[in-house]
Structure 1
């Protein structure tokens, strides 16, 4: 970064309590008060260069030997005034992007212009700004960042506009022509080993800016239509990583954090999040689905506006087929919620995906990817001790039947839920198992299901029925079931239990197509065969 050195005299300012003085044999005759700080200075070096002080002194009696003036409104406060005062005394000062704004605004306030004295401070600062700061990349960014303390003065003096124009011009420069230094700390990247500048070389440096200035730059860059949307999305990603918290870590924030501090942080984070959401390019793929879901999770936690949530839900739905289970494990916004995972928010994303899938008449591939994802998600949230059956069922049923080629993953989710929630009622078990299509279970899962004591009897009988139906209704299927482990004996045992304990969970409640034999008919056929065998045996005797 560049700097400008002015003056040659050593710094002889010193502090005594709340008073700043200059080591000099000449008594002070100019007292400047800036808030709680008093400056004991001299009229001769300052008045020739400061039009404002000339005006204030002209309003005093001519015979006044000592003049006092209050400059509480000087932009930049004590820092700005001291830079201007040292310039007047010829004391060495080093100007850079870090203190330029304060010095320039202070000099403008004190009217240190060419009309007051040739070669004055304002002229030198303007030359430094145009030839050094605006020509540099980091100089422009740092200068723009420092304007936040003097935003109104910086706008009126054109500092913000000129810095933004300089920054945008450099962002739009082809990477092959970038010759200035920049910050790039991505893992695995080494400037020494790389022969080319990365396309997103500028994203980290501008992430130091406040959200309003950052938005101005992104808006200006997007208006040119010269950068691809994913590059804009990467800039948003870098900025969010710098300024937004991790939702899961924020949930576990220390208890000693004061309520006022927490609320202030939440308010700032909410503003950043909502502003980022308005800058997301409309193109699919401009943000990764993982980043979009992270923003959605934060929007939930930070109680962002409904419009922000709706937009992020829509964006997430647009790319849900690219998501991972870990990405959609969105925690509930606070400990006050019964469930750890926010399954309702995931369902909203699924519904958004389905709406866009139907509207665009897309292929089954993306639908089945999402279904596979949601079934895997259900296996995770089923372990949530407070997750109600109704939410599991609602999410599972939100996807159309055509989306699932098999129900093995649904069965796994049901089994996990029953294992983790042994206290649920028979009615809840029945409600949960109604999402299972036994006709779509693999042989391996069927073999597990018929021996699963957690399942309602009604479901087990249904599994057996469709498993036998799949192998045919001939004697061959019966003998095959016997060879494979006694499925028919399992059916007899279950039917005996059904007769003993009633039909509340019995096979008689299984809804089947009219052309298919009912379980009751299967039972009567078996009884008839037993009687025929008995008669045949007695006739032989």
Structure 2
């Protein structure tokens, strides 16, 4: 028998005389020729389904153990209904029995091998029988080619259980897994692009549209029936392929057969049953635990859980998915979460909300147990889960059937210590109050029980004060927080003025090179000294415009500015007096200008005795200019405050 290579088979099958329409005519010619050569009549009738073959007894019994037993006492044999390959395969086997070369290709080799095994065409009855020849073709031709192996494996689906018992399926699966591992390893460096992994999808919300880019070998694998696919995945793992390459194949398969729009639109009962079977198998194939967070996006688990709720998957599988999502909940995004269908009347009582509530409660319980053992406060993961849950509440809050008590139960699923920022909680409460405008003030107070205005931003706090839907208690709290922020802003302003005054003066006294004023366009150090004061002045104007301060508060600030001005005047007099003392000391003594006698003299003659024991060698001209500029600046600030209050401030003493 001739064995054609797979490349030659595709062309020869279409034009060969052994193609399906001509096999029957060729077999008749062989039977007539055999009768003429041997002189033996046609005496055997073999029925395969609805087709009858008139053949000779000797060729059949010499190569088939099955036919030899059946034709021992009879001249008519009917093969069973499940005969592998049907009448077409038997015709090709009959040609081989009569000594004609049979054209073998990947499309018929599996059927021929199963039929030959059924007819017991082994070496026990004839040397070089059909079974051994077909095994040789499978091993040396089919299993060495990716495409041929895929073809044979797909054909084996129609030949079960024969193809399974003959290990054709197993050999094809192991061969595909080995070639896939070699494709990943790429020993000859033929790949132009890296193998697809899911690292880039870990930080994105899941969508079935973002996994379009796949290698050709991956597309071939996800086209397999699920029974064969899951065995390929098992073989890939046994042969050592890393999980970051195996998991994308599972995700792509589930995306095609479970999560895509085409698969979700099928309502046929058989398709639904098949979908449930695939869904159950995918859950069993997926990695679970901490290692899954590095290779599979949490949004994919949410998508599977959503399909599980639709198809009523058994509770063990749903619990497995929920447990996995709970451990990865801090990686999720709002778009990943289970949301009831739009238009649902009672979202708060839907299975999606109940499932989300259960997973959040499980996360809180697990985190509490972990923190109690480790004795540590809530970490950033808990803050992320709280913000995620509050954002989810904004989605379900518009449910008109949700009462305040139920909404409070949902809020309490996350402990108050988990909420570092209350802005998302404020949004959820505001949405709920808009949907339920007729609830009482007591119910509003109950809903806003856990809302802390101190954890709101300045803009959100102002919005809460102006929000008519909020209860009176919350508005008062927001006003109080706003007043605290006002005092804090004034305190920072006052402290910063004091820092600018003391820091600049001390800096001028500690460096002889600082000649220019800190308010001129000098070097970077000078500009750095002038920056805090200018920024605080801008901040002061902004604060006044935003908060509408009272007259008493501004008068207090103006009074502090006048005190600063008086201190500067005293300092200026001290500097002028010290300058006179230093000049006299230089005239009377020709010794070191900074000697002990000079310092003691300056101390005795200086009635303010502050920082005068070591300033005899400084440049007082620059200090006077500096103090004069500070005085002018504070005068402008004082005049600005007096115009603001429409009051006339006292004129500071002239220098």
Give the TM-score taking structure 2 as reference length.
0.59
Q: Deviations over 1:444-497 (max 9, x none)?
A: 122222222222334333433443455459x99xxx999757899xxxxxxxxx
Residue in 2 that maps onto 1:176: 186
How big is the shift at 1:129? 0.5
Residue in 2 that maps onto 1:533: none
Query: Aligned partners of 1:318, 1:204: CA distance in 2, in Å?
Result: 31
Query: Aligned partners of 2:91, 2:442: CA distance in 1, in Å?
Result: 79
Residue in 1 that maps onto 2:52: 39
1:342 aligns with 2:352: yes
1:53 aligns with 2:67: yes
Following superposition of structure 1 onto structure 2, how do residues 60-459 of structure 1 map, counting pairs within 5 Å? 60=74, 67-88=76-97, 94-173=103-182, 174-177=184-187, 202-224=217-239, 226-246=240-260, 250=264, 253=265, 257=267, 261-262=268-269, 264-281=270-287, 282=289, 283=291, 284-331=293-340, 338=347, 342-358=352-368, 359=370, 364-386=379-401, 389-390=404-405, 392-422=407-437, 428-459=443-474
Structure 2 vs 1, CA of residues 269 and 249 (structure 1 numbering), >3 Å: closer, same or farther? closer
Residue in 2 that maps onto 1:523: none
Question: 115-124 or 298-307, which moves further after superposition?
Answer: 115-124
How big is the shift at 1:128? 0.9
Of 6, 17, 20, which aligns to 1:2?
6
Following superposition of structure 1 onto structure 2, how do residues 436-515 of structure 1 map, counting pairs within 5 Å? 436-471=451-486, 484=546
Query: Aligned partners of 2:20, 2:417: CA distance in 1, in Å?
Result: 84
Contact 1:32–1:69 under 8 Å retained in 2: yes
Query: Aligned partners of 1:391, 1:41: CA distance in 2, in Å?
Result: 81
Contact 2:247–2:296 under 8 Å retained in 1: yes
Query: Aligned partners of 1:133, 1:111: CA distance in 2, in Å?
Result: 23
Give the TM-score taking structure 1 as reference length.
0.70
Residue in 2 that maps onto 1:511: none
Query: Aligned partners of 1:118, 1:336: CA distance in 2, in Å?
Result: 76
Long gaps (5+) in structure 1: 188-197, 489-541
Residue in 1 that maps onto 2:614: none
How big is the shift at 1:428? 4.9
Contact 2:302–2:338 under 8 Å retained in 1: no
Contact 2:298–2:332 under 8 Å retained in 1: yes
Contact 2:18–2:102 under 8 Å retained in 1: no
| Matched residue SS, 2:466 | coil
How big is the shift at 1:272? 1.6
Contact 2:391–2:424 under 8 Å retained in 1: yes
Contact 2:394–2:431 under 8 Å retained in 1: yes
Structure 2 vs 1, CA of residues 406 and 242 (structure 1 numbering), >3 Å: closer, same or farther? closer
Long gaps (5+) in structure 2: 33-40, 198-212, 492-541, 551-655
Contact 2:346–2:401 under 8 Å retained in 1: no
Q: Deviations over 1:81-120 (max 9, x none)?
A: 3442354467776533333222211111112233333433
- Tell me the number of residue pairs that the alignment of Structure 1 and Structure 2 aligns: 455
Q: Deviations over 1:216-241 (max 9, x none)?
A: 232233245x3332222112101111
Contact 1:48–1:116 under 8 Å retained in 2: yes
How big is the shift at 1:438? 2.6
Query: Aligned partners of 1:120, 1:333: CA distance in 2, in Å?
Result: 67
Contact 1:332–1:341 under 8 Å retained in 2: no
Q: Deviations over 1:188-215 (max 9, x none)?
A: xxxxxxxxxx997743322223333322
> Which protein has the bigger helix share?
2
Query: Aligned partners of 2:72, 2:90: CA distance in 1, in Å?
Result: 20
Contact 1:112–1:122 under 8 Å retained in 2: yes
| Matched residue SS, 1:40 | strand
Structure 2 vs 1, CA of residues 249 and 136 (structure 1 numbering), >3 Å: closer, same or farther? closer
How big is the shift at 1:57? 2.1
Contact 2:347–2:396 under 8 Å retained in 1: no
| Matched residue SS, 1:301 | helix
Query: Aligned partners of 1:136, 1:336: CA distance in 2, in Å?
Result: 57
Query: Aligned partners of 2:214, 2:259: CA distance in 1, in Å?
Result: 26
Query: Aligned partners of 1:80, 1:241: CA distance in 2, in Å?
Result: 37
Query: Aligned partners of 2:298, 2:81: CA distance in 1, in Å?
Result: 51
